[in-house]
């Protein structure tokens, strides 16, 4: 009974045509992002390490370039032979390493064709990058940089339970690093520093001598676990998590409304392991939603057209070197039609405007023209003056009160003393 269905599905796949791909990928090997040196370490620790915080290393650069070459192979038959501007759109965020990674990946993806070579000594073509700074919010830092979300998240027991699951780990790493670990992000930052040094294998910023391969793996697993627990807090999943799927759906709608001869083929998101993890969790993708990927990991979401029926396919690779493999969404199943995908992931709809509204408290009336600014400034000055007045009266009273109590003390103490004798 199952066979005919399976056959249809297989045949369908053969006739389906890839029309659009969105590819999220992680940057290459990088320097540590937060500490560089722990409080417990000597002042000259790591001083000869040449990279600034969070920047790609030489090895990391090579990884992204190789990743671009691999993408070119994997999209053979779909990707144009040469770079065509309207077919591509590339997003980065505010972290330098995401723009560096995008530029390097694109150098591998689109080496200039013969007619595009403008300098025979440099086989490279400039390709525009666009910033989308919501991408960087996928992470525990969102509780700091989005105060409105942070306030809600901290009301959740699930947030405080994150550290409670690892009492020994917290205690040990506080002792080792000299960093006070009071919030999940602190643990994540400390663990990440140790793990990054281990991955670097650079004697100028040496890994801890006690750190075995097995321990490094465990550190990474704890990092994955605490981040996953954080992502599953409703205020996080329904803001930054939902933003990822809204983004996917909106990009698809753009493409389906474009004339075939002017259609976009690729959207690239040069981001972080956290972007892939939260997408994997939200879409129910094995592998991708279960572990942090390594450097140059990627998730491709492909749109296929089979006689005007549209399907989505997911391909995951956990490392720049590893070829991608198709993964089936546990939520959307196989085949995953665009209609079903939209039903599952359209709500809540978190576009750019909605995201920022959830992220930050309003500062001022939206159309902050000069008059409003003037009124607000005057208001602040007046309130300030009133407060200063009230405060100085209050201080005067306190001063008098405290002086009298000092006198009291001076007088009673010798008396009490006398009485006891």
Other beta carbons within 10 angstroms of residue 77's beta carbon come to 5
Contact present, 179 and 192 (Cβ < 8 Å): no
Contact present, 18 and 78 (Cβ < 8 Å): yes
Structure tokens, 325: 């493999």
Residue 16 or 327: the one with the smaller Cβ distance to ligand NAG is 16
Rounded to whole angstroms, the Cα distance separating 389 from 386 reads: 5
Shortest spacing between CB 327 and ligand NAG, in angstroms:
19
Contact present, 239 and 358 (Cβ < 8 Å): yes
Residue 125 or 133: the one with the smaller Cβ distance to ligand NAG is 133
Residue 96 or 133: the one with the smaller Cβ distance to ligand NAG is 96
Shortest spacing between CB 402 and ligand NAG, in angstroms:
35
- Conformational region of residue 247, where left means phi above 0, alpha means psi within -120 to 50, and beta covers everything else: alpha
Distances (CA, A) of 381 to 280, 362, 375, 385, 388: 51, 20, 10, 6, 10
Shortest spacing between CB 224 and ligand NAG, in angstroms:
7
Residue 52 or 121: the one with the smaller Cβ distance to ligand NAG is 52
End-to-end CA distance of the chain: 104
Residue 225 or 322: the one with the smaller Cβ distance to ligand NAG is 225
Residue 143 or 300: the one with the smaller Cβ distance to ligand NAG is 143
Shortest spacing between CB 416 and ligand NAG, in angstroms:
46
Shortest spacing between CB 390 and ligand NAG, in angstroms:
33
Task: Please give the backbone phi and psi of residue 372, each rounded to the nearest 5 degrees, phi first.
Answer: -60, -40
Shortest spacing between CB 120 and ligand NAG, in angstroms:
28
Contact present, 247 and 267 (Cβ < 8 Å): no
The site for ligand NAG (CB under 6 A) is made up of: 19, 96, 144, 179-180, 183, 185-186, 218, 221-222, 225, 256, 260, 305, 307-308
Residue 55 or 66: the one with the smaller Cβ distance to ligand NAG is 55
Rounded to whole angstroms, the Cα distance separating 380 from 374 reads: 10
Environment class of 407 (CB within 10 Å of its CB; exposed 0-12, middle 13-18, buried 19+): exposed
Shortest spacing between CB 419 and ligand NAG, in angstroms:
51
Contact present, 323 and 74 (Cβ < 8 Å): yes
């Amino acid at each position: 009974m199952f066979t005919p269905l399976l056959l249809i599905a297989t045949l369908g796949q053969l006739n389906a045509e890839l029309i659009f791909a969105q590819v999220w990928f992680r940057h290459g090997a990088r320097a540590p992002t937060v500490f560089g040196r722990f409080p417990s370490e000597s002042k000259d620790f790591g001083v000869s390490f040449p990279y600034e915080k969070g920047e790609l290393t030489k090895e990391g650069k090579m990884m992204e370039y190789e990743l671009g070459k691999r993408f070119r192979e994997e999209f053979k038959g779909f990707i144009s032979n040469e770079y065509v501007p309207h077919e591509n759109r590339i997003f980065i965020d505010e972290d330098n390493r995401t723009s560096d990674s995008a530029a390097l990946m694109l150098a591998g993806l689109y080496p200039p064709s013969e007619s595009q070579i403008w300098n025979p000594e440099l086989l490279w073509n400039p390709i525009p990058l666009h910033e989308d700074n919501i991408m960087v919010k996928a992470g525990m830092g969102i509780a700091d940089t989005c105060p409105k979300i942070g306030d809600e998240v901290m009301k959740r027991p699930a947030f405080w339970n994150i550290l409670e699951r690892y009492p020994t780990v917290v205690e040990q790493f506080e002792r080792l690093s000299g960093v006070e670990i009071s919030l999940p992000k602190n643990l994540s930052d400390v663990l990440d520093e140790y793990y990054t040094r281990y991955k670097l294998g650079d004697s100028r910023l040496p890994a801890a001598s006690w750190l075995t391969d097995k321990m490094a793996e465990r550190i990474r697993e704890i990092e994955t676990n605490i981040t996953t627990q954080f992502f599953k807090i409703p205020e996080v999943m329904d803001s930054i998590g939902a933003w990822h799927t809204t983004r996917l759906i909106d990009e698809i709608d753009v493409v389906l409304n474009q004339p075939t001869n002017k259609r976009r083929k690729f959207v690239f998101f040069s981001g972080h392991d956290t972007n892939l993890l939260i997408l994997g969790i939200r879409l129910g993708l094995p592998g991708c939603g279960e572990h942090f990927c390594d450097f140059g990991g990627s998730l491709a979401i492909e749109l296929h057209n089979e006689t005007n029926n549209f399907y989505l396919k997911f391909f995951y690779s956990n490392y720049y070197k590893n070829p991608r493999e198709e993964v089936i969404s546990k939520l959307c199943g196989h085949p995953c039609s665009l209609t079903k995908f939209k039903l599952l992931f359209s709500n809540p709809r978190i576009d750019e405007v909605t995201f920022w509204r959830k992220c930050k408290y309003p500062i001022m009336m939206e159309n902050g023209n000069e008059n409003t600014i003037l009124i607000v400034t005057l208001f602040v000055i007046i309130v300030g003056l009133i407060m200063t007045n009230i405060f100085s009266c209050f201080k005067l009273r306190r001063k008098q009160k405290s002086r009298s109590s000092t006198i009291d003390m001076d007088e009673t103490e010798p008396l009490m003393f006398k009485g006891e004798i």
